Amino acid sequence: MVSARKDNLIIRIRHADIGKRVKSVAGQIAKDFKGERIHLIGVLKGACFFLADLAREIDLECSIDFIAVASYGKTKESSGQVRMLKDLDQTIAGLNVILVEDILDTGLTASYLLRILKQRRPKTLKMAALLDKPSRRLKPVKGDYIGFTIPNEFVVGYGLDYAERYRNLKDVCVLELPTR
């Protein structure tokens, strides 16, 4: 007989605290790029909530684009392989590009994306991530703008998913799956 199991969610970062931190990261970006135009590139799908909130808090002329890469699929572990699913709509040559990620984990996705974006000759290339899990890093990637540094826990919400679930949670929550 299969018994009903419920995933356990524990709030790690409250929506209000995310909002405050996003404002402060946006302020830092506006200061660093004072008087210039910036181009935000969101990594689908996880970064879309962060990008939408961040963009609205940055007091600069700003354009946006999205890129999609194959991620974890239905498991919690990275395959170690990164594959592009959707390329940018626009060219980025000469632009102040900020790559916007939901989370920097092993760094495999970010290092792949930063490498291919750099080849396209942006004026500047920076990276923003809502969350950073430095203890899991396999590639030496450092985010220029980090929302929160978190321990090695699997989190969902505010864009982050587990098998496409929980992206629409307002808070970032730790997901504890039932042990079988």
Binding of ligand IMP at residue 103 (CB under 6 A)? yes
Q: How far is the CB of 154 from ligand IMP (least distance, A)?
A: 4
Q: Stretches 4-12, 89-97, 115-123, 155-163: which one binds ligand IMP (CB under 6 A)?
A: 155-163
Q: Which stretch binds ligand IMP (CB under 6 A): 1-9, 10-18, 20-28, 95-103?
A: 95-103
Q: Contacts with ligand IMP in 110-129 (CB under 6 A)? A: 110
Q: Which of 54, 43, 166, 167 is nearest to 108 (CA)?
A: 43
For residues 159 and 18, is the Cβ–Cβ distance under 8 A? no
CA–CA dist 178, 159 (Å, integer): 22
Listed as own residue / partner, the contacts of 2-7 with beta carbons closer than 8 Å and 24 or more positions apart are 5/178, 6/178, 7/162, 7/175, 7/176, 7/177, 7/178
Handedness of CA 16, 22, 24, 30 (dihedral sign): negative
Q: Whole-number minimum distance, CB 71 to ligand IMP, in Å?
A: 4
101 makes contact, choosing from Mg ion, ligand IMP, none, with CB < 5 to 8 Å by partner type, with ligand IMP
Is residue 54 within 8 A of residue 25, CB to CB? The reply is yes
Site string for Mg ion, 67-86 (x = CB under 5 A): ----x---------------
Q: Catalytic: 144?
A: no
Q: Give the containing element (helix H, strand E) for 154.
A: none
Given 7, 32, 89, 105, which residue is catalytic? 105
Which distant-in-sequence residues (6+ apart) come within 8 Å of 114 by Cβ?
99, 125, 127, 141
**For Mg ion, the closer CB: 103 or 114:** 103
Which does residue 102 bind out of ligand IMP, Mg ion, none, counting CB within 5 to 8 angstroms by kind? ligand IMP
Distances 102 to 93, 123, 145, 163 between C-alpha atoms, Å? 24, 23, 12, 15
Residue with tokens 């890469």: 69
Of the candidates 25, 67, 100, 104, which one interacts with ligand IMP according to CB under 6 A? 104
Choices 19-27, 50-58, 116-124, 152-160; region in contact with ligand IMP by CB under 6 A: 152-160
Residues identified as active-site: 105
Q: Which residues bind ligand IMP (CB under 6 A)?
A: 43, 46, 71-72, 78, 101-110, 154-156, 160
